[in-house]
Amino acid sequence: MVAHNAIYAQSGGVTAVINATASGVIQTARQHTTKIHNVLAAKNGVVGVLREELIDTSRESDRAIEQLLHVPGGAFGSCRFKLQNTDPKDPVVNRLFEVFKAHDVRYFFYNGGGDSQDTLHKITRLGEQFSYPIQCIGIPKTVDNDLAITDCSPGFGSVAKYIAVSTKEAALDVQSMCDTSTKVFILEVMGRHSGWIAAAGGLAGSGPEEPPHIILFPEVIFEAKKFAEAVKQIVNTYGFCVVVASEGIRLSNGQFVAESSSKDAFGHTQLGGVGATLADSIQRDLGYKVHYAIADYLQRAAGHLVSKVDQEQAFNVGKSAVELAVQGARDVMVVIKRLSNNPYRWSIDTADVSQIANIEKTLPSEYIRDDGYGITEEAREYLLPLVSGESFPVYRDGLPDYQRLKLDFVARKLPEFQV
């Protein structure tokens, strides 16, 4: 039996546990050397494949790969790049398969969200057109938790934990000063079309009287007058108001409350600034002193506060992807299946990539309180298991001591290619 090489690549926004998935892929591949000779990690996702920038993971020690379990960010670099053309004559398409052939790559593991799974699915179909035996396996990753079919997406549980903790701690700060200082605090979180991360802020309190008092979801039309009235009533009742706002909240005409004129590489409108927009309106209309914070990259890079459950799931989807590949699977994505809430039990399953690519899973209406400003008990039952447990990194001199890899490249075999 002849063993062939695999390429592993990270795509889209990174997470606090995406490297746990990389660890799962590489460690498991090292146990299947009769079929997988070596794992080549593409620098900066599929862009690294096109540039033939392939990292030789065999030069990394077993310990270094194991320690990736605790490293946030993308150890091999990520990208926002969508394969637009599926014409076999297209230079980009041709280049992909030239690299696969030059490095004897028969397995492609793409670790990303919905757009990444679209690219993976296209490569599978192109492999058929080129009559090239490439086995593509999708590995889920997105802090937004908006991938279809899978119960949850690795990366989300740790963001949810960070947002819930940050909301709880900031609320204690505001409450202690509200009599003579800040009365309203707004935490802006990620979430373009889905309110999963915003919903996680609701875990900080156990009822409408506890912070966060208001959660703003993309799934609920934002009404400025109704929002101002709610803030005023809450301040009058409790002395202060804590708001968790998704960056993707919209007006009744579909326009984002805060957006820019620029777009990212996937064609999505760039968002950001909803915290400042809401703070300005509250100060103008109600006269309250307001503070706001933007969680931004902090929420997805908090390696010091990962969810143990999230980390375990991230490792296992990588492990399972390799096991599926050596069994002959192709054009599927690994998914997580929830078996029970209490105790929380889950298992690994698969789904066709075509059922996942470019499909967004939004927050179910039954997870949103009737007034549109909070989460239900059903949402709490779903969310709580995902933030469970801690897995702290090793600390040195009071700071996390995150593992650094060698990142040695294999020798190029092809001419340079501009992306």
Catalytic residues: 144
Instruction: Identify the sign of the CA torsion 280, 282, 287, 289.
Output: negative
Give the H/E segment covering residue 10.
strand 4-10
Alpha helices in 37-151 (DSSP H): 46-50, 62-67, 91-102, 114-130
Report the distance separating Cα 48 and Cα 42, nearest Å: 5
Report the distance separating Cα 78 and Cα 55, nearest Å: 13
Residues 261-270: contacts with CB under 8 Å, at least 24 apart:
264/80, 265/79, 265/80, 265/81, 265/82, 266/80, 266/82, 266/115, 267/82, 268/192
Structure tokens that stand for 346 in this block: 């889950």
DSSP letters for 290-348: EEEEE-HHHHH--GGG-BHHHHHHHHHHHHHHHHHHHTT--SEEEEEEEEETTTTEEEE
Contacts of 103 (CB under 8 A, 6+ apart): 5, 7, 40, 54, 410, 413
**By the 8 A CB rule, do 338 and 150 touch?**
no
Residue 369 CB coordination number (10 Å) = 16
Instruction: Identify the sign of the CA torsion 371, 377, 381, 386.
Output: positive
User: How remote is the C-alpha of 50 from its chain's centroid?
Assistant: 24
Alpha helices in 51-182 (DSSP H): 62-67, 91-102, 114-130, 156-177
Phi-psi region of 131 (alpha: psi -120 to 50; beta: other; left: phi over 0): left
